[in-house]
């Protein structure tokens, strides 16, 4: 049997494979032989679905009086065109017109690479290094007779794109593209939900593998490395594998201090992966060894908080009302008030899909009504600064009959994975 020290060394090596020679890496990896790829049957988003997305976007453009929308690289560009590209000082953009095929504007020398992931029929217009790319965008809008209509700008686009288009189209009215982009992306289709379910299944399988392998003396980095290794073997692409130990669990995104698993210490994990680009996000908390009465009480209260949030999630309810319901419950238990500590210092949940955090949030004041196909996290953690924190997080999607879990919340601190 390996010693704890050698096992921890193996985990650390697995977390940093680029520091280990190939011949040594195989010996340093944890034994993942019991795990196998779960994602072989994943069905990627196909051309028919992408065509429906464009049709939906164009319908929303007409309804909102928008002639076209401009999108920079990122999840929205992937969503509408399939193009996977990074942002730099050289503009690559997609323009979705109210009628007809989209246009991709990109540097001349990047065109072959951009076309590799282009998944929809589209015109491609290129610009040379001595040209203004926003003038190319403006030219497309003029050619399609859209220059006199409002142009929507996707909310994450950088200012230089907005400003450059304003200068290239003097007098143009540039508006938010949110009614179009959010109107499409916030409501997931069965194909999207299936990929999110598979990503969640991978994360839960990884949790079930990792949980019994967490030992005294491990750091959060070492525990997270185990989770990432298991996730990859199961077919997911790890997005984050955070493990917060002891006092670090009292701070939702952790501490720079190194904490080690020890008897009576909380272990809070927040982990997610992608399958075909779609994300999971699941948090689990437990105590290494026997929980104290206070730890058990807080864990049970958070579990009830999740149930309160789920009960409040009904079609037509404002997204903020879910957060309100949880805070009323927590305040009755002596936490808060509001976002104060000890208590729940962050929103109850966030949207999720191609991005780990998407609009809209389950947060005070959010008036957007819940609708079928919307997907959210449910994570009403409780944090006691200087002591510990407990967070249980499971995502759900809305149906006409109410919310449906992607992962089933645990029911007891003694069986914390669920």
CA 126 to CA 136: how far, in whole Å? 8
What pLDDT band is residue 343 in, cutting at 50, 70 and 90?
very high
pLDDT in tens, 243-253: 999 999 999 99
Q: Comparing C-alpha atoms, which of 403, 418, 416 is closest to residue 300?
A: 416
* pLDDT exceeds cutoff 50 at 304: yes
Q: CATH classification of 190-405 is 3.90.230.10, yes or no? A: yes
Q: Decide the pairing of beta strands 123-127 and 103-107.
A: parallel
* pLDDT exceeds cutoff 90 at 19: no
The pLDDT, as a whole number, for residue 5 is 38
CA 230 to CA 273: how far, in whole Å? 11
pLDDT in tens, 110-150: 999 999 999 999 999 999 999 999 999 999 999 999 999 99
Q: What separation in angstroms does the CA of 329 have from each of 50, 245, 340? A: 42, 27, 14
Q: CATH classification of 47-185 is 3.40.50.11030, yes or no? A: no
What pLDDT band is residue 24 in, cutting at 50, 70 and 90?
very low
Which runs of consecutive H residues, i.e. helices, occur in 99-250?
A: 111-115, 133-143, 159-168, 178-185, 190-210, 220-233
What is the overall mean pLDDT for the chain? 94
Q: Average of pLDDT values for 269-282?
A: 98
The pLDDT, as a whole number, for residue 4 is 37
* pLDDT exceeds cutoff 60 at 27: no
- Biggest CA–CA distance in the chain, Å, is 74
Check if the beta carbon of residue 65 is closer than 8 Å to that of residue 145. Answer: no
The pLDDT, as a whole number, for residue 29 is 73
* pLDDT exceeds cutoff 90 at 357: yes
* pLDDT exceeds cutoff 80 at 42: yes
Helix (H, G, I), strand (E, B) or coil at 199: helix
CA triple 66-72-73, angle to 5 deg: 140
In b/e form, how buried is each residue of 328-359, taking b as 16+ CB within 10 angstroms?
ebbeeeebbeeeebbbbbbbbbbbbbbbbebb
CA 49, distance to chain mean position in Å, is: 21
Q: Average of pLDDT values for 301-327?
A: 98
Check if the beta carbon of residue 84 is closer than 8 Å to that of residue 274. Answer: no
pTM for this entry: 0.93
Q: Decide the pairing of beta strands 151-153 and 68-71.
A: parallel
* Domain ranges, ordered by start, for the chain: 1-31, 47-185, 190-405
CA 290 to CA 356: how far, in whole Å? 33
Q: How many CB atoms lie within 10 A of CB 290?
A: 11
pLDDT in tens, 171-190: 999 999 999 999 999 999 99
Burial class of 104 by CB neighbour count within 10 A (0 to 12, 13 to 18, 19+): buried
């Amino acid at each position: 049997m390996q010693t704890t020290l050698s096992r921890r060394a193996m985990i650390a090596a697995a977390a940093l494979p680029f520091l280990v020679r190939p011949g040594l890496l195989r010996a340093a990896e944890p034994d993942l032989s019991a795990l196998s790829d779960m994602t072989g049957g994943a069905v990627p988003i196909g051309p028919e679905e992408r065509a429906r997305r464009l049709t939906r976007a164009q319908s929303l453009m007409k309804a909102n009086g928008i002639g076209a929308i401009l999108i920079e690289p990122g999840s929205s560009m992937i969503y509408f065109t399939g193009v996977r590209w990074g942002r730099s000082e050289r503009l690559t953009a997609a323009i979705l017109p109210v009628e007809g095929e989209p246009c991709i504007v990109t540097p001349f020398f990047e065109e072959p690479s951009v076309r590799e992931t282009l998944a929809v029929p589209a015109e491609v217009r290129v610009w040379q290094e001595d040209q203004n790319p926003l003038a190319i965008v403006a030219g497309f809008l003029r050619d399609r007779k859209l220059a006199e209509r409002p142009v929507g700008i996707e909310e994450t686009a950088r200012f230089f794109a907005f400003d450059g288009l304003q200068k290239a189209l003097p007098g143009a009215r540039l508006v938010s593209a949110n009614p179009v982009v959010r109107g499409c992306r916030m409501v997931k289709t069965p194909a999207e939900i299936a990929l999110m379910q598979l990503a969640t299944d991978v994360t839960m399988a990884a949790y079930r593998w990792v949980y019994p392998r967490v030992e005294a003396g491990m750091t959060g980095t070492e525990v997270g490395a185990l989770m990432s290794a298991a996730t990859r073997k199961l077919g997911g692409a790890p997005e984050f594998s955070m493990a917060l130990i002891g006092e670090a669990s009292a701070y939702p995104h952790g501490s720079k201090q190194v904490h080690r698993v020890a008897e009576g210490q909380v272990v809070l994990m927040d982990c997610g992966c992608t399958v075909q680009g779609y994300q999971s996000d699941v948090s689990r908390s437990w105590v290494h060894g026997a929980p104290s009465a206070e730890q058990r009480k807080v864990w049970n209260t958070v579990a009830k908080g999740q149930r309160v949030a789920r009960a409040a999630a009904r079609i037509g309810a404002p997204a903020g009302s879910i957060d309100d319901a949880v805070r009323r419950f927590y305040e009755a238990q002596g936490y808060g008030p509001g976002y104060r500590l000890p208590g729940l210092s962050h929103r109850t949940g966030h949207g999720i899909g191609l991005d780990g955090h998407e609009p809209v949030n389950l947060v005070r004041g959010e008036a957007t009504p819940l609708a079928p196909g919307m997907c959210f996290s449910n994570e009403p953690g409780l944090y006691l600064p200087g002591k510990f924190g407990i967070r249980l997080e499971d995502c759900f999607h809305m149906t006409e009959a109410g919310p449906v879990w992607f992962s089933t919340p645990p029911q007891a601190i003694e069986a914390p994975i669920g």
